[in-house]
Chains A and B, each alone.
With several copies, the nearest count.
Chain A
Amino acid sequence: MLKTEISSIKLKTPLILASGILGTAGTSLKRIVTMGGAGAIVTKSLGISPRSGHKSPTIVKEEKGGLISAIGLANPGYENFKDEIEIAKQGGAPVIGSVYGFSFREYIEVAQGLEDYGVAAVELNLSYPNVGKTGAFYGKHKELSFEVVKAVKESVGIPVIAKLTANVSDIVTVAKSCEDAGCDAITAITALEAMKINVDTGRPVLGNKVGGLSGPCIKPIAVRCVYEIAKEVDVPVIGCGGATTGEDAVEFMMAGASAVQIGTGILTRGITIFKKVSKEMEEILKRGGYKNVGEIIGIAH
């Protein structure tokens, strides 16, 4: 009932682990498939060389179902991730490699490397809410997004997914540019630029001061982005942002998403959230008289 496909990548359930959540080690990714029930997994965003990321605190919990995080793209570099991908693949679900870069060349190098290591697709992280000026801007400009996607698309044979930020005036224009540049799917959205100040000290809590807001509180914004993008582009859209329940996932798909990523939801519902949400989705589909999850994609339009 939940079987689906994103640009020829077959998924047992449309629920995918979002990048950066428990995606630092292959064993973890594997566990999220075998024990957690994810239909596919996205690795932590990988760059050309190891990066320690920001000083801590890297994460602060907001009372209202939110998380502000500023990990700062900590990662061991894509080459150190070869073995991890090998292990992750043992889970039996497609492994999507998340790529970041501070230049087109870096994006290309990492994407090609990950293709060699056997990922099913690459997801381009085009905007990092919390990494200074460098690199944070690609996803904020339709021209730069176009160029990055095009450059990577021309360099690899596997599907290329563009992951967008909602911290723009008009996400649809950026999405269209990515489609024009040849991307095979679009993930919307990444965490939103946010901040927490501790009133007892008067100091910003995060080591990086600014971080990315994720979790249930951004869901209405993410759903709106998916709806707007799906209306205007033809490539599949992957919803991301706050999905925590079957109802959330169904909402994303009705807005036009072909699959849904889950990250912060793990905080409240544990690693098995993918199993739980799949079950809840099935119940909603049954109640609504649907036979296959594909039937609900975009019906809110």
Chain B
Amino acid sequence: MRVTRIKEIRKETERIKTYILEEKVDAIPGQFVMVWIPDVDEKPLSLSYHKGNMGITVLAQGPFTNKLAELRVGDKVGIRGPFGRGFKIVGDSLLLVGGGVGVPPLAALADEAIQNGKKVTAIVGAITKSELLFVDRLENIGVRVLTCTDDGTCGTKGFTTDVLRDILKKEKFDQCYTCGPEIMMLKVLYEAKKKGIPTQISMERYIKCGIGICGHCIVDGTGQRVCKEGPVFRDVDVEKISEFGKYHRDASGTKIYFRNRK
């Protein structure tokens, strides 16, 4: 556990903030860190900035993330990691599909890919315009960004998967990357597979130790650990994860079925 200070806080949307920390990092996009607020809790968060000063981008949605939202520049947080396997850049034309706070690791991936001279297209979705994450950031570095909102306030009215289906009719990509709600990722996997595009998926499961020892993040079918063999999995691996898109486990290990499974 290393302790670092918050160097900068950027308000991204109403409930999402980016925290740039004093600690420097040299990680792989898709890797996560365990962030500790003393006396509060410790939670897994993807790196949204993976080189130089590390950055995380967090949606305030519960006790820990709300507490994080109260912190100020100069406050201390603890860090373990980076942990897990990140995204692998394959091919030249990459398609990123992100929903909600699934976008941060994809933004880091975009940074890395553009740096390496790749062509990057990103589909970014949210409920409404003000919730769209990192659109400017992505465009500024040269990513082609396609947005969509549930309410049509920006970009296509509809889901990322609708945009995806559309673009896949017209264009070809070497690799697809997705992070967001599992049901969305399930569909992305399906659409990309139909077109023969390999996909890399960043999964979320309940993380406790982050170092592959406690077993809380294990997925059924393969018995793999999301914190160690993941969080990024290749489509071929995900297909062997029998619980993917069906259920995950809570802090006790009890199965929780995804609600809006269609």
A–B contact at 8 Å CB threshold (below): yes
How far does the alpha carbon of A63 sit from the alpha carbon of B129 in the complex, in Å?
47
Interface-lining segment among B32-40, B84-92, B113-121: B32-40
- Bound-state CA distance A23–B218 (Å) is 9
| Bitwise interface map of A from 260 to 273 toward B, beta carbon under 8 Å scored 1, else 0 | 00011011000000
Determine whether A50 belongs to the interface, using a CB cutoff of 8 Å to chain B.
yes
B220 within 8 A of A: yes
> For window 75-124 of chain B, which residues contact chain A by CB distance below 8 Å?
76, 78, 80
**Interface membership of chain A positions 12-50, coded 1 if the CB is closer than 8 angstroms to chain B and 0 otherwise:** 000000001111111111111000000000001000001
In the complex, A52→B218 CA distance in Å? 16
Known: A24-B218, A27-B221. A60 touches B1 (CB 8 A): yes
Do A44 and B215 form a contact, CB below 8 Å, given A50-B253, A76-B249? yes
Interface centre among A30, A76, A266, by most chain B C-beta atoms within 10 angstroms, is A76
- Return the contact of A22 from the options B43, B213, B219 (Cβ within 8 A): B213
Using Cβ atoms and an 8 Å threshold, which residues of chain B touch A196? 1
The secondary-structure label for the interface of chain B is: loop
Q: Which residues of A contact B162 (CB under 8 A)?
A: none
- Min CB distance, A7 to chain B, in Å? 26
Q: Are B36 and A76 in contact (CB under 8 A)?
A: no
The chain A residue sitting closest to B39, CB to CB, is A203
> In the complex, what distance in Å separates the CA atom of A219 from the CA atom of B193?
50
Q: Which residues of A contact B224 (CB under 8 A)?
A: 31
Ranked 9 nearest A-B pairs via Cβ: A31-B223, A27-B223, A200-B3, A52-B251, A56-B42, A22-B215, A203-B38, A50-B252, A76-B253
How many B residues, CB 8 Å from partner? Answer: 37
Decide if B223 touches A30 in the complex (CB within 8 Å): yes
B209 within 8 A of A: yes
Interface string of B218-240 (1 = CB under 8 A from A): 11111111000000000000000
Tell whether, in the assembled complex, residue B253 and residue A205 are in contact, meaning their CB atoms are under 8 Å apart: no
Mark contacts of B200-215 with chain A using CB atoms, 8 A cut-off: 1 yes-contact digit, 0 otherwise: 0000000011111111
A118 adjacent to chain B (CB < 8 Å): no
Nearest residue, chain B, Cβ from A81 = B253
Q: Which residue of B lies closest to A75 (CB)?
A: B253
| Docked complex Cα distance between A138 and B243 (Å) | 38
Q: Among the listed B1, B221, B250, which residue makes an inter-chain contact with A198, where contact means beta carbons less than 8 Å apart?
A: B1
A59 interfacial by beta-carbon distance below 8 Å? yes
Instruction: Report yes or no: A51 in contact with B252, Cβ–Cβ below 8 A.
Output: yes
- Check A25–B253 contact: CB distance below 8 A: yes
